[in-house]
Amino acid sequence: MPWPIVGHELAVQQIRQAVAGEDLSHALLITGPENVGKMTLARIIAKSLLCKAEAETRPCEQCTSCKRIESGNHPDFIIIEPENPERPTIKVQQIRELERFLHLTPTESRHKIAIITTFESATIGAANALLKTLEEPPAYVHLFLLASNADTLLPTIVSRSQQVTLRPLERKKIARALVERWQIQADKAQRLARLSGGRLGWAVRAATDNAYLERMESAQRLLLALLVADLPTRFEHAQDLAKSQDTAQLIETLEYWLTGWRDVLLLQAQNDTGLTYTELKAELEHVAQAISINSTVAILQAVVAAQTALFRNANTQLLMENLLLDFPYIG
C-alpha cells in the first residue's frame, strides 16, 4: 500500500522503513518551501504511528485513530501553530503547554505526537524551551518540526533532529496529480503546475480559489512597476504594502517576487525551459538584459533575507523600503 503522498519518494521510503522498524527518530525536522507538502507528510506519519489497522495497511484512513488525527481531535496528537497567522510567532507559553501534554503518558496508543508548524517563527525563548524536550524526550514521544529552511533555526535544534528536506516537485508530477486526484482539466492543470513553483499545496489551493492566482498576478505587475518607479514612488509602495498586507501575505508576495527574479536569472542563463511566468517573458527579458547576473543573484539573496526577517517580527515598513531600494531602476 503506497502512502497517499505525491512525490518525495526517497523521503517517504526512508520514513516508512523507520516506522516499520520502530526506529523513527524522536524529532524530525521537515523543511521545504511553503505549501510543498510538509504538513501532509507529518500528518501521514502521525496517522501511520497511531493507526489501529494491520501494519501493512497503515495509515488506513478508516479507523477512529486516523479519522481523529485528520480532524485534529486525537488525545495523543497535537498541532502547535502560531496563534495569530497575521503575525506568526511560536511563543514560549505554547512550548510549555506542549511539554505538559508530552509528559503525560499516551492514553489511547503507544505514542504521543506533536507537530509544530512555522518553526522559524519561534522566539528564542520558545526554541530554548523546546531544546530541553529534544535532549531527553520520553520514549513514546515523536516531534515533527516544520520550517521553510533549517539555516534560520538554532543549530542546537537542528543537530538534535533528523532532517527531512522536501524539494519542489517536477511540473509533470503536479500536473498529473491535479488531473488524477483533484479532477482538474488538463490545460488548467498544466498552467497551475507551471505557476506553482513545484508546490503541490499551492497548486491545489489555486485550483479552487482564484484569489491565489490574482494575488500572484498582481504581485508580478507590482514588481515590474517598481522597477521603473522613482524613489518617492517606491517608498509609497513600501508604505502601502506594509499597511495593506499582514506578515503572512507579505511573505507570499516576496515568494512571488522570488519566482520573478528566478525567471530573470534563467533568461540571463539563456535557459527559458524552466520559466514560470511565460506570459511575462518579454518584460522579464527586458530586465534580464538591463542588469548583470551578479545583480540578480544579489537581489534574490536580499528577498530571501527579507522573508527571514519578516518571521523575526522586523519593522515591516522599514524592511520593505530597504528591499525596494535594493531593486535596480530599469528605464
Smallest separation (angstroms) from Zn ion to the CB of 45: 13
Decide whether 32 or 59 has the Cβ nearer to Zn ion.
Answer: 59
Rounded Cα distance between 324 and 304, Å, is 13
Q: Which is nearer to Zn ion, 51 or 175 (CB)?
A: 51
Give the residue, chosen from 19, 46, 49, 66, that forms a contact with Zn ion under the rule CB under 5 A: 66
Q: How far is the CB of 77 from Zn ion (least distance, A)?
A: 12
CA distance 278 to 293: 20
Nearer to Zn ion, 58 or 112 (CB): 58
- Buried b / exposed e over 210-246, threshold 16 CB at 10 Å, is eebeebbeebbebbbebbebeeeebbebbeebbeebe
Cβ 148 to Zn ion shortest distance, Å: 30
Place of cell 498541532: 79
9 CB-near residues (< 8 Å, 6+ apart): none
Going by C-alpha positions, the residue among 282, 276, 283 that lies closest to residue 190 is 276
Nearer to Zn ion among residue 5 and residue 60 (C-beta):
60
What is the nearest approach in angstroms of Zn ion to the Cβ of residue 3?
12
Q: Which residues share a beta bridge with 29?
A: 145, 163
Cβ nearer to Zn ion, comparing 4 with 274: 4
Site string for Zn ion, 169-208 (x = CB under 5 A): ----------------------------------------
Indicate whether 60 belongs to the interface with Zn ion (CB under 5 A): yes
> Which residues 19-58 are close enough to bind Zn ion by CB under 5 A?
51, 53
Residue 67 lies near Zn ion (rule: CB under 5 A):
no
Tell the smallest beta-carbon distance from residue 22 to Zn ion (Å): 17
| Residue linked to cell 507537530 | 115
Q: Determine if 63 is a binding residue for Zn ion (CB under 5 A).
A: yes
Would you count residue 108 as binding Zn ion (CB under 5 A)? no
CA proximity to 58, closest of 22, 107, 87, 102: 22
Residue 109 as a binder of Zn ion (CB under 5 A): the answer is no
What are the distances in angstroms from CA 176 to CA 172, 173, 184, 284? 6, 5, 9, 28
Interface size with Zn ion, residues (CB under 5 A): 5
Q: Left (φ > 0), alpha (ψ -120 to 50) or beta: where does 34 sit?
A: beta
Name the site residues for Zn ion (rule: CB under 5 A). 51, 53, 60, 63, 66
